[in-house]
Amino acid sequence: MSYREFIHRPTLVILLGLVCFLGMGLKGKTTFSSLPNAGLLYPELQAQNIPSKVINSGQQENIAWKARWISLPENELPRYAVVQARNEFELVRVPQKLMIDLSAVIRYKLFINGVYIGQGPANNDLQHYAYDTYDIAPHLKTGKNVIALTVFSLGEMNPLRYHDLGLRFIVQTSAPDFEKTLNTGTGTWKIQVNQAYEATVRGKDFDIYGYFAMGGGEQIEGDKYPWDWHQTGFDDSAWSNPRILDPGRSYGHSHSYGHAEISLNKREIPMMNEEAEKRPKIRKTSGYWQEELLAAWNNQESLRIPKYTETVILLDQEYLTKGHTHFTFSGGEGAVVEVAYAEALFGPDRTQGNRNEIEGKALIGQTDRYILDGGSKRSYSQLLPRTWRFIELRIKTSNEDLIFDNYFAHKFFYPFEQAGSFSTPFQIHEDIWEVGWRTALLCADETYMDCPYYEQLQYVGDTRVQALISLYAAGDDRLMKNAIRQFAHSITDEGITQSRYPSSLPQMIPPYSLFWVNMLHDYYMHRDDPEFVEKYLPQISSVLHWFENKLQDDYILGPMPWWSYTDVTGWEMSSPPGFKDGGSVVMTLQYLYAIQEAIPLFQNFGKGYLAGHFRDLSTKIQNSIHEKAWVQERGMLADLANQSSFSQHANIFGILTNTVDKSLHGQLFQKIIEEEGLAQANIYFRFYLTRAAQYSGNGDYFINNLQTWERMLEEGLTTFAEHEFSTRSDCHAWSASPNFEFIHTVCGIQPKEKHFRSVLIAPNPGYLSTFEGSMPHPKGKILTKYDFEQNYAEITLPPGLEGTFEWQGKSYALKSGNNTVKW
């Protein structure tokens, strides 16, 4: 998403007529490098069996929990709060299994006997808040044990993706013998504010270029930190007893008393991939003896930095990544270490240039600060993940030498694994696939996100593209379902979804609500899960009726509230002509596009009256737009009835909605890509340009026009950027679309009917003569291999799946198993 500094807070508007109209019938085992245990801030270094899968809880739905939320007394709890919590207990024997349910506002990190176990909860709003479940038995021992938590809520410095109700957490076990010991509200929990933490930036603008929604950096003062707090035997006698709040409540609990403002739900997605990240390279140093520093770093040896010196070290990961870094120091009392993270370095003109070039550039980015206490093996890390290709360490020592003991990092990604593939004789396609895959990985953890560095917000527009990549390249639909649910939860009293969700600051982009309807249609076509789709029919109707109420007498949309973001070069606020005053053909056609994909959902689930109503409305909209906006002499649709401007966008939707007669589709698409003076689609909207190419019989357009992605590779990008030129974000979900297009468009693999019960394979090879690709289907893998010089294709379908191959106007039946098609 771009131009997101235009953030609007919605007003309360009554949705008229809706009620009466609806009154109708992983990765597995994860290991990290090892370091001595003494004084570790985050002992992930020792973790050997970090769970990477969701474990089903014993907690029953729709009942009150036996555990209660706990926190510190309000007068002891700062708005920016990092809290340590401990529960120490003894075991005569270790149980075979010991399940706990755990949640916190806004985040927790869990340790058992000093070993990092995991973090969460999965991000959601307070009415659908997630709890995570762990089997902690494998981490226990006979004798003393301690469950320890870091819980934090950073007040005004919270990233926008998190909803906040003030710091609190809840732990519950379903094992009766441990309820009094482990349950918050009844157990022996002790709690303390960690006074070592504060934000690095407050009350002033960040020194980061572009809209930034990720809060500030973190400062840790070592002499205030309660080192070894998560180990057994730590003296917590001065810590406080917690303030006991409301019982936990499952979502849909029949009633509640008091102030239970959080509804708890089982985690719907797996735990994140937190495997070790490789060590970056030193690209540049200044100050301290550079050759010795470089040798020590490369040999992974400790490094002595003399007192009263200043040293700057620029690290290059060589590709963009996301996760937690860990810096371990000994001695150096009073030294200050600043660690800054950036996707790219900036020149004096604030442009990035080739990302591999560093000379004459500076690192400008999110910065953490560590003030060292002189202790031994002190490891410093972050509460929230960082995103980086480049890391700059600025080390200023005081009156004592500093030992830089070690560095390591671990990832924080959604655990997607590649299950689809695409290969050709050309290296460029392999490179685009690799960089697109990395882009998709970095733009997903506990939700999809537009970009991992600047926002980490789940926007509908980006998410539709990202969800299709997940289906085609990974075969994983869990995060897609999670996103559909969350956008449904975001619907306001107006009746449309918010543009991004979860988000503590509401923002409305009405056309994104329409893409949410398209997302549901995508899921309906690719998965046999009718119960999931059917429950969102009221929300689909709500969105469509909201737009219907904005139609003028001529069945073209009138003035639109909020922000009509469309992704284009040259339009005001990237919104189409007519969005302010009414008469936007682009917006009206996008509405029509959503209507047409909603109709089969209404029809399939017995809502024939809705299907009929919107089918009739669809016809009226098509007729009106054709009458008012079709310019015969140009053979194109205009953006307004006065025919004063033209764009690719109006004509893309004119093809996709059949507002333009099918016999003219091919000719119109050529005009879209050839005529000068049309408002142009940027990277994001080229996804819809490719849909129009494919639908109009010009599917070869995609593989023959990869210059945008080739140019980004030439600029040294290791992920695909938000914009082709003058970009803010170097990693943006919507730019990973080639990983969908290679399989769907070039290999031609797509559903032939709902639920992907049969497959249509209609390739668009462009200039390619040989290539192959595969896609994960719920029944198994679909394999394609083409040779257009020898005029044959080899196609393998999994058991129980049949389909059709289409090429050059002819159709060939495909059966389960191996198929060879010759023409």
Pull the structure tokens for residue 69. Answer: 């939320």
Given this model, what pLDDT does residue 422 score? Answer: 98
Given this model, what pLDDT does residue 254 score? Answer: 54
Phi-psi label, residue 166: left if phi above 0, alpha if psi -120 to 50, beta otherwise? left
Instruction: Specify the 3-state DSSP secondary structure of 543.
Output: helix
Please say whether the structural domain 276-411 has been given the CATH code 2.60.120.260.
yes
Q: What is the C-alpha to C-alpha distance for residues 382 and 377, in angstroms, rounded to an integer? A: 17
Instruction: Specify the 3-state DSSP secondary structure of 818.
Output: strand
Give the CB-side neighbour count of residue 5, counting CA atoms within 13 A: 7
Question: Dihedral, CA atoms, 763, 767, 769, 773, nearest 10 degrees?
Answer: -40
Q: Are 728 and 740 in contact (CB under 8 A)?
A: no
Q: Do domains 55-266 and 748-823 have the same CATH topology?
A: no
Mean pLDDT, residues 520-547 taken together: 98
Given this model, what pLDDT does residue 36 score? Answer: 32
Q: What is the C-alpha to C-alpha distance for residues 557 and 590, in angstroms, rounded to an integer? A: 11
Q: Are 578 and 639 in contact (CB under 8 A)?
A: yes
pLDDT exceeds 50 at position 1: no
pLDDT exceeds 70 at position 147: yes
Which residue type occupies 502?
A: P
pLDDT exceeds 50 at position 48: no
Given this model, what pLDDT does residue 291 score? Answer: 74
Q: What is the C-alpha to C-alpha distance for residues 153 and 202, in angstroms, rounded to an integer? A: 15
Work out the pLDDT band at 453, boundaries 50, 70, 90.
Answer: very high
Given this model, what pLDDT does residue 420 score? Answer: 98
Given this model, what pLDDT does residue 244 score? Answer: 95
Work out the pLDDT band at 572, boundaries 50, 70, 90.
Answer: confident
Provide the 8-state DSSP code for 742. Answer: I
Given this model, what pLDDT does residue 256 score? Answer: 55
Nearest by Cα to 648 from 703, 598, 686, 597: 686
Given this model, what pLDDT does residue 28 score? Answer: 33
Q: How far is CA 657 from CA 496, 619, 646, 662, 694, in A?
A: 22, 10, 18, 10, 13
Give me the count of residues in the chain.
Answer: 823
pLDDT exceeds 50 at position 32: no
User: What mean pLDDT value characterizes the chain?
Assistant: 90
pLDDT per position as a tens digit, 256-302: 555 558 999 999 999 999 999 999 999 999 886 667 778 888 888 99
Given this model, what pLDDT does residue 251 score? Answer: 82
Work out the pLDDT band at 18, boundaries 50, 70, 90.
Answer: very low
pLDDT per position as a tens digit, 79-135: 999 999 999 999 999 999 999 999 999 999 999 999 999 999 999 999 999 999 999
pLDDT exceeds 70 at position 367: yes
Domain boundaries along the sequence of the chain: 55-266, 276-411, 748-823
Q: What is the C-alpha to C-alpha distance for residues 120 and 49, in angstroms, rounded to an integer? A: 17
Minimum mean pLDDT among 227-241, 277-291, 667-681: which range?
277-291
Exposed / middle / buried, residue 237 (Cβ in 10 Å: 0-12, 13-18, 19+): exposed
Work out the pLDDT band at 58, boundaries 50, 70, 90.
Answer: very low
Q: Are 151 and 169 in contact (CB under 8 A)?
A: yes
Nearest by Cα to 72 from 211, 168, 203, 201: 168
Q: What is the C-alpha to C-alpha distance for residues 689 and 265, in angstroms, rounded to an integer? A: 39
Work out the pLDDT band at 570, boundaries 50, 70, 90.
Answer: confident
pLDDT per position as a tens digit, 302-318: 989 999 999 999 999 99
Q: What is the C-alpha to C-alpha distance for residues 172 and 470, in angstroms, rounded to an integer? A: 34
Long-range own/partner contacts, residues 776-782 (CB < 8 A, 24 or more apart): 776/419, 776/420, 776/472, 776/474, 776/475, 777/475, 777/801, 778/527, 778/528, 781/419, 782/749
Q: How far is CA 102 from CA 120, 163, 229, 595, in A?
A: 9, 17, 20, 41
Mean pLDDT, residues 633-660 taken together: 96
Work out the pLDDT band at 742, boundaries 50, 70, 90.
Answer: very high
pLDDT exceeds 90 at position 459: yes
Q: Are 285 and 684 in contact (CB under 8 A)?
A: no
DSSP β-bridge partners for residue 204: none
Pull the structure tokens for residue 263. Answer: 């509804």
Pull the structure tokens for residue 745. Answer: 């468009």
Q: What is the C-alpha to C-alpha distance for residues 591 and 620, in angstroms, rounded to an integer? A: 13
Minimum mean pLDDT among 43-52, 431-440, 504-513: which range?
43-52
Please say whether the structural domain 55-266 has been given the CATH code 1.10.3720.10.
no
Mean pLDDT, residues 571-575 taken together: 86
- What order of strands is seen across the sheet that includes strand 115-120? 115-120, 107-112, 143-153, 81-91, 190-193
pLDDT exceeds 70 at position 25: no
Q: Are 83 and 184 in contact (CB under 8 A)?
A: no
pLDDT exceeds 80 at position 408: yes
**Domain 748-823 is of which CATH architecture?**
Sandwich (2.60)
